[in-house]
Structure 1
Amino acid sequence: MKRILIILVLVLICTQIKAQRPMDWAFKLNLKDYNVKYSLPKGFSHLDSMISSYCRSDWSELFQYSLINTEGDIAIRFLMIPITPKTAEQLEYRKRLFNLSELFPPNQNYLRTIYFQLEADTTNRIAYYPKAYAKKTFNVDVAGEYDRECKIVYKGKFYKSKVVFLHKEDRMDCFIHYFYEEGKEEKVRETIAKTRGMFRLR
């Protein structure tokens, strides 16, 4: 009986590792492709990145990697969008397909993403970081943050988030969502400050 229990535990552990491996591998591959230096922030651990989840049901934005803090009241989720030589062609195709009147150039497409995330209400909601700070801290051309509420509640309690966005010319856009529980506004601001160095382009 004891041997059976040990076997069951080992099978369960192996199954969990196998389930996490594809997304972990994909995230690491993205970091390599985009030439990003990433380090797991202290007090956080890997979350269920394999589970598909979105902020809005009418906008396709699958988070690619997720972390949770020890207390379980703050979750960090990553969304990375590449900017490649084919990006302009893809955007032009999307414009024709959906009969769009306007089209953002590839290196301004992050504004379009923010526009959709905030449902067009971007006036006075985006706080840009100074260019020198964006360059020194993240090695990007444009960076900033904004507040966002999700229509689809994550984990039954996370719907508020502060988003740090990063834009690197001709390489990538990254949106780092810091989800937090009600009443944890001060804590999430402290967390953003403490995790500044976890994600930096080389």
Structure 2
Amino acid sequence: MKKNLFFFIFFSFLILEAAAQSKQLPGLGLNAPHGKIFDNVCHAIGAVYKCPVGFRELDTTERFMPGNRILLDSFVQELEGKKDDIMICFAVANYKLFNEVRIRKYSPNYSKNDEYKNRIKSKIDSSRYSFTPYKREFTHKVFNADTAGIYDFVPQDPYRNRYPLTKIVTIHKQDRADIEVFYFYNEKSKNRINKYIADTQGMIQFQD
């Protein structure tokens, strides 16, 4: 409980810190024309995105309560499979918006380049699953990132009341941003989820 409370307080502060500084980056406001927000986010973190074949972009996004029921993920884009029961959702942390000096007044050991590790720890059930890092060559070629990997996550409540199973791909670019790609699926699409992940991993990539 104390661990969850710490994560809640700390990440709440990070969200407020980002909100306070977001006005400094043009095009990030949530008042941007619908459908352009994710493009703005990708532009702000220096990434390019292309909707993968076999998926459609949804006009709405929903907040997602992970299994600990404390940390809330806010998705900036959602994709729905045209044939199979699968959804792909994106959560992004733009570290250009974070003031490390200010944050360290509240958390002396804070480092934005360790945040992806904290996000994994806050979600993963280490007694059942583990984080599998991708090889460095693959990470650089596919994502142009410094670190990336995948792990299984089982939420307490099915996402959109349809998807009880989840795989999360974490992508970290040093000093710039973290991207979490959530693959929601169910028993109907379970046998094909790994192929979908392999086929869509080039859909978002950091640019130098």
Task: Compute the TM-score of the two structures, normalised by the length of structure 2.
Answer: 0.76
How far apart are the structure 2 equivalents of 1:74 and 1:123? 23
Task: Show structure 1 runs of 5+ residues with no match.
Answer: 1-20, 96-101
* Contact 1:23-1:49 at 8 Å conserved across structures: no
Unaligned runs of 5+ in 2: 1-31
Q: Distance in 1 between matches of 2:169 and 2:38?
A: 18
Paired residue secondary structure (2:100): helix
**Residue 77 (structure 1) aligns with:** 89
Partner SS for 2:171: strand
- 8 A contact 1:65–1:77 mirrored in 2: yes
Whether 1:60 aligns to 2:72 is: yes
- Taking only aligned residues, the RMSD between alpha carbons, in angstroms, comes to 2.4
1:92 and 2:104 aligned? yes
Q: In 2, distance between residues paired with 1:104 and 1:168?
A: 17
In the alignment, does 2:193 pair up with 1:188? yes
Q: Secondary structure at the match of 1:197?
A: coil
Alignment coverage as a number of residue pairs: 176
Aligned in 2, Cα 1:70/1:118: closer, same or farther, shift over 3 Å? same
Confirm or deny that 1:142 pairs with 2:147.
Answer: yes
Alignment of 1:1-202 (within 5 A): 22-56=33-67, 57-84=69-96, 86-89=98-101, 91-92=103-104, 95=107, 103-118=109-124, 121=126, 125-202=130-207
Measure the CA separation in 2 of the matches of 1:83 and 1:62.
16
1:86 to partner: Cα distance: 3.1
Contact 2:84 2:189 in 1 (8 A): no
- CA separation of 1:158/1:85 partners in 2, compared to 1, >3 Å: closer, same or farther? closer
Q: How many Å separate the matches in 1 of 2:127 and 2:144? A: 25
Q: CA distance change for structure 1 residues 91 and 187 in 2, over 3 Å: closer, same or farther?
A: farther
2: CA distance, partners of 1:65 / 1:90: 30
Secondary structure at the aligned position of 1:132 is classed as helix
Is this contact kept in 2: 1:49–1:64, CA < 8 A? Answer: no
Distance 1:66 1:53, change over 3 A: same
Tell me: CA distance 1:51–1:85, structure 2 relative to 1, closer, same or farther (3 Å).
Answer: closer
Q: Is the 8 A contact 2:35 2:59 kept in 1?
A: no
> Identity over the aligned pairs, expressed in percent?
25
Give the counterpart letter for 1:78 in structure 2.
Answer: F
Q: CA deviation at 1:189?
A: 0.3
Displacement of 1:85 in angstroms is 6.8
Cα distance in 1 between the residues matched to 2:117 and 2:128: 12
1: distance between equivalents of 2:97 and 2:75? 23
Q: What's the offset of the Cα at 1:61?
A: 1.5
